Structure 1
Amino acid sequence: MTDHCDCGAPAGPLGRCADYYYAILAEEQADPDMYRWHNPVVCSYLLQHPAEGHAKHFDVQFRWLQLLLDQGVDAVVRVAAHQVARNRHTSRQGYDMTPFENYAPLPLGAAATGFRASFSALPVVGGSFVFDGAEAYGRRVEAIAAATVERLSGRT
């Protein structure tokens, strides 16, 4: 195992960011309060590790994070539910970009390293990321989202 992740972050006690990401995805399946943060976790992770994502989704993932930082996780959950319902009950598939119109697009060539917050720095106690509650966990995920938006928009 290398001592640094592709995003430039040092490996943590669980390993590189990917190890943290997959552990989070597994843990959140059993915790509805933790699962509320699923979208920001996925968007942040894939934007910090673009080799593991798909370029066609990066712009909307960047906008999801801006929505989170502007309106909070409840808005993210509402917009996600709207997107799912829209795709389930209409013949039009894909994103309704209306909720994201006020947010900046991902700058061209925005791939970066050196984020001020990363997954491999998340604390884990007793094998859990929510050892001190979902609210504290959410603040840590929001810090990673903010670091992602700041770095990719060149505001670090």
Structure 2
Amino acid sequence: MTDSSATGRCDCGATAGPLGECADYFYAVLAEEQADPQMYRWHAVVVCAYLLQHPARAHEKYLDVQFRLLQLYLDKGLDALLRVQAHQVARNKHGVRSGYDMAPLADYAPLPGPGSPGPFRAGFSGLPRGDGGFVSDGHQAYGRRIHTIAEATVESWRTLTA
């Protein structure tokens, strides 16, 4: 991560917001969603988008799956993503197979790259946070903001193949 006190920018290229850099927003979202089951529905999208916007903080071997999960979410919606997640969790609990089942993600483009495409047109430091937290204007509005971040993330990664 770059030193935002010197540059005012996160390593993804975003300008720091009132809470600080993207990591500060990311951890605040994670903490808030623990107490809010409706907000938690977007957890996978939040994690995938954050790690794809900050690949230096991610495990490289998982970035391809995270990129494909965001594409699935953008293509088929949150409920479809939640079904794929539930399938993976059930599969892991039963120990039937090792590794990630890529079949539900086979139709989606692999992660372009190497590298990082930032800056992104939407990121975590742009998430509004009023006195009521990240969902002070409602869960659907929060979901739309997270959707915009997911779109910006996928769009930017796709520029690496253009």
The TM-score with structure 2 as length reference comes to 0.92
With 33-42 and 85-94 compared, the bigger mean Cα shift is at 85-94
In the alignment, what sits opposite 2:25?
20
- Tell me how far apart the structure 1 counterparts of residues 113 and 20 of structure 2 sit (CA, whole Å): 30
Per-residue deviation, residues 61-88 of structure 1 (Å, max 9, x unmatched): 0000000100011111111010000111
In the alignment, what sits opposite 1:69?
74
Q: Report SS of the residue matched to 2:52.
A: helix
Alignment of 1:58-137 (within 5 A): 58-126=63-131, 128-137=133-142
4+ runs deviating over 2 angstroms: none
The TM-score with structure 1 as length reference comes to 0.96
In the alignment, what sits opposite 1:5?
10
- Tell me how far apart the structure 2 counterparts of residues 112 and 124 of structure 1 sit (CA, whole Å): 26
Deviation at 1:93, TM superposition (A): 2.5
Aligned AA (1:8): G
With 37-46 and 146-155 compared, the bigger mean Cα shift is at 146-155
Alignment of 1:26-65 (within 5 A): 26-65=31-70
Please, which runs of 5 or more residues in structure 2 have no aligned partner? none
Query: Conserved in 1, the CA contact under 8 Å of 2:63 and 2:111?
Result: yes
Alignment RMSD: 1.4
In the alignment, what sits opposite 1:146?
151
- Tell me how far apart the structure 2 counterparts of residues 84 and 94 of structure 1 sit (CA, whole Å): 11
Query: Conserved in 1, the CA contact under 8 Å of 2:49 and 2:150?
Result: yes
Aligned AA (1:91): V
Aligned AA (2:103): T
- Tell me how far apart the structure 2 counterparts of residues 108 and 118 of structure 1 sit (CA, whole Å): 20
Q: Report SS of the residue matched to 2:71.
A: helix
With 126-135 and 65-74 compared, the bigger mean Cα shift is at 126-135
- Tell me how far apart the structure 1 counterparts of residues 105 and 61 of structure 2 sit (CA, whole Å): 16
Query: Conserved in 1, the CA contact under 8 Å of 2:117 and 2:159?
Result: no
Q: Report SS of the residue matched to 1:8.
A: coil
Aligned AA (2:131): G
- Would you say how many aligned residue pairs link Structure 1 and Structure 2? 156
- Tell me how far apart the structure 1 counterparts of residues 61 and 84 of structure 2 sit (CA, whole Å): 20
Per-residue deviation, residues 4-53 of structure 1 (Å, max 9, x unmatched): 10000000010000000000000000101100000000000000001110
